[in-house]
Structure 1
């Protein structure tokens, strides 16, 4: 037993040493934590803001989110392509967080549907490039520091974990701030967080420029749409993400209107998964080094199906608390490992592949928002989880039907 413990401790020390030995990686972890904290302040309460504060109908809310998602996909794709050719990622990150700051100042003061729609489509559309660019920047930092390719998935998972860490306290803290300062105060705090992140990027991140040949770039689109494995992966992640976004939008309404819960209980529900995501991400990140990543993704999707099935049958708010552990498990696997998987599809273009992954999730959010609006407009909030089960099951079928082989992906 003692040799096993000693070996485990030595491995933990070596990985910890690796994290701190990579230049700029610790700063990137903090930046990702700040991003996660900002997002955790508004995402759990987005449907409450739109439906209750602004007064949108469920259907108009769906249209609002769909237009915003489409715009984000278009703008981030254009920026992602430029990032892999000549544009400095640092400048793109600064642009993204500047627009995020402006966008949330507008959210704080406007309650006009069309102003918010324009803000979501244009301002937040530009801001949306921040997520794929920060992951692409992180991968380049790891490669520039000559990190072993087999250890990159683990470190990317640690990077993702810094995002999850912020969610352990973010939603619950946002619920308290919402009671004290209302949506205006919460959105101004989010704007401040994004502005502070912008300052950190300006002061501490170095310029990053990756030049890719024109010939290499012209092969990307045919590879994406002409390769069955990539296409099925893209659709599978789009569907599993759609289920997740339906859940995110639906949960607060489900708790408050169907289960007679409160905003504070919504905050607790969204804070439970990140507590478990952190150890899960470490564990699954280590597994990803030695195991077939696709097998892990399949397991994650099976857990997702079970999770959404259980949500259909809850009768009280407290029933949801333990079920959220399953949410943590499937998110840790799918969202933790998938970035490295997508980046392995086109290793020489991290900006493009990160954007490919991000666009799969954004199109998934588009599908999720539209389905949420349609289902909750004509049915009830419990029925939304039947749709989640179907989407998660379809994702699993698509992954199985793609016939992946471990050697087809470079990690």
Structure 2
């Protein structure tokens, strides 16, 4: 029998293998002992890191599903306000009520599904349910024009379909939970960049479909993409989360109050995001007198610019902590809305979309990771909390922005958005300073410290 003392087990491809001179007994000892997979070196070249992410198990199927989900949304969402006003004849206030009911349904369904998802032995049935609801929602929007019926479709079917985003990403994170080191977290940011890639082509094709197929054709295409997204997940395992504490994650979660303050900042961000997305097409076409095609081009440009920023975050070897990047994103979003407020032509709109691309790469790409850092070991709960802040922001913004736009005009909405994101930025700054003071006093370490997952890499999250 060969002794392991003084010897190093071979490491190959993240797995522990016996030295060639060891016998079977030596390998049995290795198998019997608990093995901690070493983290892949974060000092490798960006190309090697990206290739390692692409070779992860189920990466292709997950990427295809995420792309189709994003493509479905990118076809329909940019033109939802135009559909409501031009096709269904809704007033700005009625549009706000419709969007608010959508958000209420999304929050309620996503919260309930998240609780089930972290407890069930397989989360796949819930993921498929949300994708089926999304397919049904857009199939119904292709034919329904009655306002009461639209409210039902929005609250029930669109609300449930909105939960597909956190459910698909929590399924992806659980499917990758055996991956060593921080590759799983890098993969999550890479998947988010795939989601952005779908928005590069989706809005432009949506505008083309709108010109030739009308709103019914756009929504039918979106419905089909939801169905295909579900089909590509049939062979991805729906394993439950396995909570572990390793060297790349904090041993304890953030206090509930810290999580609530972070959630409040993201609700304010979600309000501004929802208002801006809803009234941007109406501002471009109604106030500035530009074409609907320009709306699709600008939205696609933003998504195109997001991708290199997100991929840079995946491969960045020595970044600031996640919380610091998120705070910077809040500040940049304030500048984005200030540019829109002052915009008089296409040049300012393009500049605003460049800023928006950086903001979305930071906040949409790292926001999910940020909440997973605050709530280690709870994939669906953390991802759903992040998604629910956006849904709650949309719910609060719907009636508010509708009444505001009806009273003061479309341009003034961006002043309100700038105020909301400015408040979120100040809140994140205050939270960071308070956390720094608590750390000096010996409090629990948070995501801004080197001992946590976030400090190691901007896409690192606790491996729950």
TM-score, structure 1 normalization: 0.90
Counterpart for residue 391 of structure 2: 362
Q: Does 1:231 align with 2:260?
A: yes
Contact 1:160 1:336 in 2 (8 A): yes
Over residues 213-236 of structure 1, what are the superposed CA-to-partner deviations in whole Å (9 max), with x where a residue is unaligned? xxxxxxxxxx89x72211111010
Q: Does 1:298 align with 2:327?
A: yes
Change (3 A) 1:19 1:284: closer
Change (3 A) 1:165 1:9: farther
Distance 2:359 2:388 in 1: 20
Distance 2:413 2:230 in 1: 37
Over residues 149-172 of structure 1, what are the superposed CA-to-partner deviations in whole Å (9 max), with x where a residue is unaligned? 3x4443221110000001111101
Within-5 A mapping of 1:161-240: 161-202=193-234, 204-210=235-241, 227-240=256-269
Counterpart for residue 388 of structure 1: 417
- 2:299 equivalent among 270, 277, 284: 270
Counterpart for residue 129 of structure 1: 163
Over residues 152-204 of structure 1, what are the superposed CA-to-partner deviations in whole Å (9 max), with x where a residue is unaligned? 443221110000001111101100110100001111111111111222222x2
| RMSD of aligned Cα (Å) | 2.1
Unpaired segments of 5 or more residues in structure 2?
A: 1-41, 244-252, 436-445, 454-460
By how many angstroms is 1:211 displaced? 7.3
Contact 1:288 1:337 in 2 (8 A): no
Contact 1:37 1:166 in 2 (8 A): yes
Counterpart for residue 52 of structure 1: 86
Counterpart for residue 307 of structure 1: 336
Three-state SS of the structure 1 residue aligned to 2:173 is helix
Q: Does 1:148 align with 2:177?
A: no
Three-state SS of the structure 1 residue aligned to 2:233 is helix
Counterpart for residue 377 of structure 2: 348
Contact 1:228 1:402 in 2 (8 A): no
Over residues 14-36 of structure 1, what are the superposed CA-to-partner deviations in whole Å (9 max), with x where a residue is unaligned? 21331133100221111111111
TM-score, structure 2 normalization: 0.80
Three-state SS of the structure 2 residue aligned to 1:205 is coil
Q: Does 1:27 align with 2:27?
A: no
- 2:313 equivalent among 284, 293, 312: 284
Counterpart for residue 139 of structure 1: 173
Distance 1:147 1:141 in 2: 13
Contact 1:157 1:281 in 2 (8 A): yes
My pick for the range that moved more, 371-380 or 176-185, is 371-380
Contact 2:177 2:242 in 1 (8 A): no
Unpaired segments of 5 or more residues in structure 1?
A: 1-7, 213-222
Counterpart for residue 218 of structure 1: none
Counterpart for residue 14 of structure 2: none
Contact 1:48 1:253 in 2 (8 A): yes
Change (3 A) 1:178 1:9: farther
Larger radius of gyration: 2
Over residues 318-337 of structure 1, what are the superposed CA-to-partner deviations in whole Å (9 max), with x where a residue is unaligned? 43123210000111111111
Distance 1:402 1:55 in 2: 44
Q: Does 1:158 align with 2:199?
A: no
My pick for the range that moved more, 9-18 or 394-403, is 9-18
By how many angstroms is 1:291 displaced? 2.4
Distance 1:39 1:325 in 2: 21
Change (3 A) 1:320 1:208: same
- 1:80 equivalent among 109, 114, 118: 114
Q: Does 1:242 align with 2:271?
A: yes
Three-state SS of the structure 1 residue aligned to 2:207 is helix
Counterpart for residue 220 of structure 1: none
Instruction: Answer 1 or 2: higher relative contact order, Cα 8 Å, separation at least 6.
Output: 1
Counterpart for residue 428 of structure 2: 399
Distance 1:271 1:318 in 2: 16
Three-state SS of the structure 1 residue aligned to 2:90 is coil
Change (3 A) 1:210 1:330: closer
Distance 2:43 2:338 in 1: 39
Q: Does 1:18 align with 2:56?
A: no
Change (3 A) 1:352 1:38: same
Three-state SS of the structure 2 residue aligned to 1:56 is coil
Change (3 A) 1:288 1:373: farther
